[in-house]
Structure 1
Amino acid sequence: MAASPEKSRPSAFWPLAAVVVPLVGVFARIELRGVENLPREGAYVLAPNHNSEFDPLVVAVAVWRAGRAPRFMAKESLFKVPVLGAALRATGMVPVPRTSTSATQSITAAQDIARDGRGVIVYPEGTLTRDPDLWPMRGKTGAVRLALGGNLPLIPMAQWGVQQILPRYGKLRFPRRSKVIVEFGPALDLSAHTATATQPATLTRATDELMARLAEMLSGLRGLPAPAERWNPAQHGQNETGRLES
């Protein structure tokens, strides 16, 4: 794919890509779909489903192959890890404070992204899906909050096949090279929500629309009907780590 200026310009992504792309290729044959939906230039928020600890690598390679530099919202604590923290800072990853959910910080992050013309990858589920059949579960409002706060296109991304490489909470299956389909969807229309973009009810509705779109896209990849309702960990006695509450 034609590279954007942020990919073709020398950066810390180049040496990382030289290592990560071939490594991921050992495990995954990635098929890209809908690449035309990812903006060639400018800022955006990319919202993928999350069903394996391995899929961030697949998502990063897919975005790189599509012509953009992959930047994630990453836990602030990761920036303190030697070597990893330096790589995160050098590639412009966005730190997320563990205890902060304030709208002000989200809007500030979105404004920074928009100003710099960068894209950012945000998992709307916030963690691995808890749905027993690996469908997208109930989402959190972070991706929508960023998109609305910065007036950025919100691009849904569905991926399927990574669970054959590393099952959720399982062990890496090697040697194994599995087909993984990654689809970029058209930007979600958020125009109906802009007038009340900071209201919790609005953010929840928009997030529900995003998760429904992801489920619809994943249904197309899997050839199965998606469940009518999203899995809600709170209703099944689970916390954010997937463990049962006592």
Structure 2
Amino acid sequence: MGEIGYPAVCFAAKAVCRALGLRVRIEGDTNIPAAGGAVLAADHVSYLDPFAVLLGADAAGRRVRFLALQTLFEHRIYGPVVRELRQIPIRSGGGGAAFRAAVDALRAGEIVGVFPEATIAQSFTVQQLRTGAARLASAAGVPLIPMAVWGTQRLWTKDRRNIVQPMLPITVLIGEPLRATSEDAPEQLTERLRARMQELLDRAQREYPDAGAGQWWQPVHLGGTAPTAEEAVARDAAENAARAGADS
């Protein structure tokens, strides 16, 4: 898998973190198995979250293949990187093929990364999850590992970008694996996953060294000015409707 490209991307991500003076804290990497397949399921607050997950897995000596929209493979800047890293494309109307490819990768002992919210959560809380991560873990018989990423939204999120912020803290917490039982429906496992992800995110926010009261990047329940969960869902619906109208 990208024998040249993947290490180069990891090296570049670490070099950028050092150059920008980012304070990246990774905890729980021992929860990622040293060998064998696993699904990493992370919250999504920033366009940079895949790199945070990549660094978390790299701390455990593992590589990640993400499920990514086909449009990323065709992008003039991101496309070559995504293709070199052998990410798994999700084509319009072809979700079944992506699911089968991901299950094959998991059974072959690879790590697959998923953002089960399927969009950046503008509320900076864990929103409703899709069941894909749970179904992948169940189908392949591999652990489902919850993650929390926090701080990346301050660099680049929806409608905001300020990459150069020296000494900015970034937190990556990796939780204990969940395993599906024969009695678990995908919806039940997904609810367990969401609870674990929210616990990790709550902890990352609670232990974050920078005060966020009154800040746009802090969720409203912690005194920030981010949209509420309900407002965030409404914004996503409006954006999706506008996009669909533009494509029709």
SS of 1:36's equivalent? helix
SS of 1:68's equivalent? coil
Using a 3 Å threshold, how does the CA distance of structure 1 residues 240 and 14 change in structure 2: closer, same or farther? farther
- 1:121 corresponds to 2:113: yes
SS of 1:159's equivalent? strand
Superposition map of 1:79-94 within 5 A: 79-82=73-76, 84-94=78-88
Q: Supply the AA of the counterpart residue of 1:35.
A: D
Cα deviation for residue 173 of structure 1 reads 4.6
Cα deviation for residue 67 of structure 1 reads 1.2
Cα deviation for residue 141 of structure 1 reads 1.2
Q: State the distance in 1 between where 2:55 and 2:238 align.
A: 27
Identity of aligned residues (%): 27
Q: Supply the AA of the counterpart residue of 2:148.
A: A
Superposition map of 1:38-117 within 5 A: 38-82=32-76, 84-102=78-96, 105=97, 107-117=99-109
Q: Which residue of 1 aligns with 2:224?
A: none
Q: State the distance in 2 between where 1:164 and 1:142 align.
A: 28
Q: Deviations over 1:109-144 (max 9, x none)?
A: 24311332110110010010132xx11101111111
Q: Supply the AA of the counterpart residue of 2:100.
A: T
Q: Deviations over 1:66-106 (max 9, x none)?
A: 3111321111122233564343233221111233444xx35
Matching residue within 189, 192, 196 for 1:213? 196
Q: State the distance in 2 between where 1:240 and 1:185 align.
A: 33
- 1:239 corresponds to 2:243: no
State which drifts further: 49-58 or 9-18. 9-18
Please list every run of 5 or more consecutive structure 2 residues that lacks an aligned counterpart in the other structure: 208-218, 222-227
Using a 3 Å threshold, how does the CA distance of structure 1 residues 109 and 19 change in structure 2: closer, same or farther? same
Q: Deviations over 1:175-195 (max 9, x none)?
A: 43311111110111321545x
Question: Are 1:44 and 1:119, in contact at CA under 8 Å, matched by a contact in 2?
Answer: yes
Q: Which residue of 2 aligns with 1:198?
A: none
Q: State the distance in 1 between where 2:186 and 2:13 align.
A: 35
SS of 1:124's equivalent? coil
Matching residue within 135, 145, 163 for 1:145? 135
Superposition map of 1:157-172 within 5 A: 157-172=147-162
TM-score scaled by length of structure 1 = 0.78
Q: Which residue of 2 aligns with 1:180?
A: 170
Question: Are 2:28 and 2:174, in contact at CA under 8 Å, matched by a contact in 1?
Answer: yes
Please list every run of 5 or more consecutive structure 1 residues that lacks an aligned counterpart in the other structure: 1-5, 195-201
SS of 1:79's equivalent? helix
Using a 3 Å threshold, how does the CA distance of structure 1 residues 108 and 167 change in structure 2: closer, same or farther? closer
- 1:22 corresponds to 2:30: no
Q: State the distance in 2 between where 1:71 and 1:107 align.
A: 13
Q: Supply the AA of the counterpart residue of 1:212.
A: A
Using a 3 Å threshold, how does the CA distance of structure 1 residues 238 and 75 change in structure 2: closer, same or farther? closer
Using a 3 Å threshold, how does the CA distance of structure 1 residues 165 and 83 change in structure 2: closer, same or farther? closer
Q: Deviations over 1:180-219 (max 9, x none)?
A: 111110111321545xxxxxxx322221221111111111
